[in-house]
Structure 1
Amino acid sequence: MAPAADDVVADLGFGGGLGLGLLIERAGLAHGIDYSPSMVERAARRFHSGKLRLHTGSMTALPLADAELDGLITLNTIYFIEDVALAFTETGQPRSTARRPRHCGYALACWIISDRPA
């Protein structure tokens, strides 16, 4: 399920930025969060969009306020996380006051979708 045009979404551990490009095209606002400052700098040079906010941060302590996200993606990140249980707890918290995200998996990619009808 693709994000809606007014969704606020994030790509966690965005690396080369493939997910960022897709989210910028489809969502209202995209956050890119990566543990590596060099990946954040690289993304800042690559993407020039008012719909993107970049952050250096961790999946175990997202640098966003609660109720800020409608959904998120992550690709090939689980093996970089020391405390996987904490990351699942952090990313599984309800972010949007109107919608409760749910997990679909982490092995390859995940779009946490809302409970609103498609």
Structure 2
Amino acid sequence: MARGVSVLVATLILIVISTIASVVLYLYLTHFFGEVGYTGEKPKIKLKLEAVQRLMSGGLKVYLHNVGDESLEIDRIYILDLNNNILETYPTELQLNSGDIGSFIIPALKLAKISEKVDKIRIMVSCKS
């Protein structure tokens, strides 16, 4: 009987040791492979929405501030609903150097078309790389 118990205990000890070893190996490999493809930090685009002004025409003037260290060239404006569905998109050419504040206008006609669909919008811009 004692011999059967010692085999069982030895088996349990081997299972525990192999489980611990596999967890340690997994953590080591995921950390190692996470570092392998790293080539340096990409420049982060830091753009802040400063203000939105309603114009006499009914349009909106949107002010953006480049708070990052890189120059940005905004090439497209997206108007989204609150579920991130694109309602309107149009091209623009807005160059912002570091620290610059620039603006673009969303015309009243576009806003009238959008306001038929939704009450609130989100604005997203894309930058050329």
How does the TM-score come out when normalised to structure 2? 0.23
* Alignment TM-score, normalising by the size of structure 1: 0.24
Q: Which has the higher helix share?
A: 2
- Structure possessing the higher radius of gyration over alpha carbons: 2
